[in-house]
Structure 1
Amino acid sequence: MIENPFVVACIPAYKEEDYIGDVVSKAMKFVDRVLVCDDGSGDDTGSIAKDLGAHVILHDQNLGYGAALQSLFEEARNLKANFIITLDGDGQHDPEEIPLLLDRLMMGDVDIVIGSRFVDCGSSEAPKWRERGIKVITGLVKNNGLHLTDAQSGFRAYNRNAIESLIITEDGMGASTEILLKAEDNGLRVAEVPVNISYHENSSTENPVLHGFDVLLTTVKHLSMRRPLVFYGLPGFLALCVSAIFWVIGIRIFTLSGTISTNVALIALSTTIVGLILMTTAIILWTLISVIR
């Protein structure tokens, strides 16, 4: 165990002038430094955080949740932080629960701790439709080997190993699942602790539909890059099988009647093209990933 670890709270924020002050002031009780990334808010979010003693990273324009995390992680690396805590600037995450995550992380047997609303003793005020969406995304991540209940919680703790090895590339909300998938790739150990997530009418500045699609597409993209032969090769092979069937049917029709069935020929041709594109994509990605690894 590290004696007197340097702990940094990292708070991405966008138009959170009504809540950021409370979040920063409470977080300061449990960490050595508070970093706030004002992601192009255009309001008093950054100035309020700065007046309370937080170090503010300012984006000139709104780049997205993932971009804010990139800036925060980079600054935490520069500060040589032993542990960082990420939490939202809108008050969803209770800074008073920071010790729950830190205590678990300091046991030393894991690299990342996630505050989950779905484990025993955790709770959430989120609408049911949002919870179902979160569980769908979590299911995709779980099927990839990580045994989690809440892949979308942004209330997390990271040790030095995780801080150094996780390079975030997604600018949007999909960064939350990108981190977990890369954690699995890097052999990082992940655990969860129960937390309470609160919601209010301004809890999210993102359109929930766009938010959901962003996260879903990002998750599928990263999973497909990890298993290109499954995601692209298998559908490509099936498409070629279908095309072969229609080529046989088309040839048989031509042999018996001397005419070409336009519909059959179009289906055969289109499935052949799709199949070849998918198979080629699978082989190229598999080769590139094999070389990189």
Structure 2
Amino acid sequence: MKNNTLIILPAYNEELTIGSVVALAKKFGDVLVVDDGSFDRTSQIARESGAIVLRHEVNKGKGCALKTGFKYALSKGYDIVVCLDSDGQHNPDEIPLLLDPIVKGEADLVIGSRYLNESKKEIPIYRRLGLWVLNTMTRMAASVEVDSQSGFRAMNRKALESLDLSSDGYAIETDMIVQASERGIRLMEVPITVRYDVPNKHKKNPLTHGFGVLSDIVSLIGYKRPLLLFSILGMMSFSIAGILFFWALKPYYTEGRVYLTQIIGAGIFTIIGIQLFVAGLTLNVLAKMVRE
């Protein structure tokens, strides 16, 4: 099975860790490093460590790097693809944990989860909150509860050929789960360990990075399940309208008057809520027509 397995490492400025990750991963299959526009020695060290290297001349995003790797895997006839991060957070020695359900024919897509063992206790507080939000949004989009942002995952050729991924950034991991749930791809989680004391762990601001991923996932939900998204927005609008109505009428029982500004605001938010529901219904019909 080793000769039929490709391990894909998307990498951006990971010269400090890429060599050791490649060396450990080589035990379980061929290693492909997709250098996503690094300006350090990532490509050189990866190649010297025994990896196949494909390089983007400019940084295009993790999603683009993975899609480059998937395209290569399909063209070379690999049966199984494993994805893991290049920064040392994931332990390549745990690759067999992800391969086992696929080899046994129990799953098509296997995700390494931080929530199935004690690893969740190691997650920093700010990450826990962010992951909870992103996992919740993914559950809304795909109706499955998994560690949606785990970059440590494996899939067989059936899954690889079934997926038509559109995301270019980190939302590709949610995109993969949504499509798997829609296309009958069998999904399974296995417990993994994750390290957070790695070099370059804050290459991006956690807040802006989290909001960026959330924005991409919301857009994905809007495309896949518009009625759900617009219903949530509509309920939020109606809730604001209810609060304003209460605020406007509260002085009526004590002073015999109402706040006109709040009444107008409540009416506006009520109209917005109705329009959001109508838009969701319309887009839901259009989305079904496009899929059919």
Normalised by the shorter chain, which TM-score bucket?
Answer: 0.7 to 0.9
Shift in alpha-carbon separation, 1:95–1:235, aligned structure 2, 3 A = closer
Check the 8 A contact 2:135/2:145 in 1, yes or no. no
Shift in alpha-carbon separation, 1:205–1:238, aligned structure 2, 3 A = closer
Check the 8 A contact 1:26/1:96 in 2, yes or no. yes
**1:181 corresponding residue in structure 2:** 178
Following the alignment from structure 2 to structure 1, what is the Cα–Cα distance between the partners of residues 212 and 173?
A: 11
**1:18 corresponding residue in structure 2:** 16
Matched, 1:195 2:192: yes
Following the alignment from structure 2 to structure 1, what is the Cα–Cα distance between the partners of residues 168 and 115?
A: 26
Q: Secondary structure at the match of 1:101?
A: helix
Q: CA deviation at 1:130?
A: 0.8
Deviations 1:108-143 (A, max 9, x none): 121111111210365664312212321332233335
Q: CA deviation at 1:225?
A: 2.7
Q: Percent identity?
A: 38
Gaps of 5+ in 2: 249-258
Matched, 1:78 2:66: no
Shift in alpha-carbon separation, 1:58–1:231, aligned structure 2, 3 A = same
Amino acid at match of 2:187: V
**2:251 corresponding residue in structure 1:** none
Deviations 1:80-106 (A, max 9, x none): 211000001111111111111111221
5 Å-filtered alignment, 1:34-45, equals 34-45=31-42
Shift in alpha-carbon separation, 1:234–1:16, aligned structure 2, 3 A = closer
Q: CA deviation at 1:161?
A: 1.0
Amino acid at match of 1:134: L
Matched, 1:223 2:221: yes
5 Å-filtered alignment, 1:135-150, equals 135-143=132-140, 144-148=142-146, 150=147
Higher helix share goes to which structure?
Answer: 2
Q: CA deviation at 1:220?
A: 2.3
**2:290 corresponding residue in structure 1:** 292
Q: CA RMSD in A?
A: 2.9
Following the alignment from structure 2 to structure 1, what is the Cα–Cα distance between the partners of residues 143 and 118?
A: 24
Q: Secondary structure at the match of 1:152?
A: coil
Q: Secondary structure at the match of 2:19?
A: helix
Q: Secondary structure at the match of 1:108?
A: coil
Matched, 1:54 2:51: yes
Shift in alpha-carbon separation, 1:273–1:163, aligned structure 2, 3 A = same
Following the alignment from structure 2 to structure 1, what is the Cα–Cα distance between the partners of residues 283 and 123?
A: 38
Q: Secondary structure at the match of 1:12?
A: strand
**1:131 corresponding residue in structure 2:** 128
Between stretches 274-283 and 60-69, larger displacement belongs to 274-283
Check the 8 A contact 1:123/1:195 in 2, yes or no. no
Q: Secondary structure at the match of 1:28?
A: helix
Following the alignment from structure 1 to structure 2, what is the Cα–Cα distance between the partners of residues 233 and 122?
A: 35
Check the 8 A contact 2:2/2:28 in 1, yes or no. no
Between stretches 206-215 and 114-123, larger displacement belongs to 114-123
Following the alignment from structure 2 to structure 1, what is the Cα–Cα distance between the partners of residues 162 and 87?
A: 28
**1:255 corresponding residue in structure 2:** none
Following the alignment from structure 1 to structure 2, what is the Cα–Cα distance between the partners of residues 227 and 107?
A: 33
Gaps of 5+ in 1: 250-260
Following the alignment from structure 2 to structure 1, what is the Cα–Cα distance between the partners of residues 137 and 125?
A: 19
Q: CA deviation at 1:269?
A: 7.5
Between stretches 38-47 and 165-174, larger displacement belongs to 165-174
Shift in alpha-carbon separation, 1:141–1:235, aligned structure 2, 3 A = closer
Between stretches 279-288 and 158-167, larger displacement belongs to 279-288
Following the alignment from structure 2 to structure 1, what is the Cα–Cα distance between the partners of residues 66 and 43?
A: 16
**1:214 corresponding residue in structure 2:** 212
Q: CA deviation at 1:275?
A: 4.6
Check the 8 A contact 1:178/1:218 in 2, yes or no. no
Deviations 1:167-205 (A, max 9, x none): 221111111111111111112111111111112242242
TM-score by length of 2: 0.83
Following the alignment from structure 1 to structure 2, what is the Cα–Cα distance between the partners of residues 123 and 19?
A: 23
- Within the candidate set 88, 92, 103, 1:91 is matched to 88
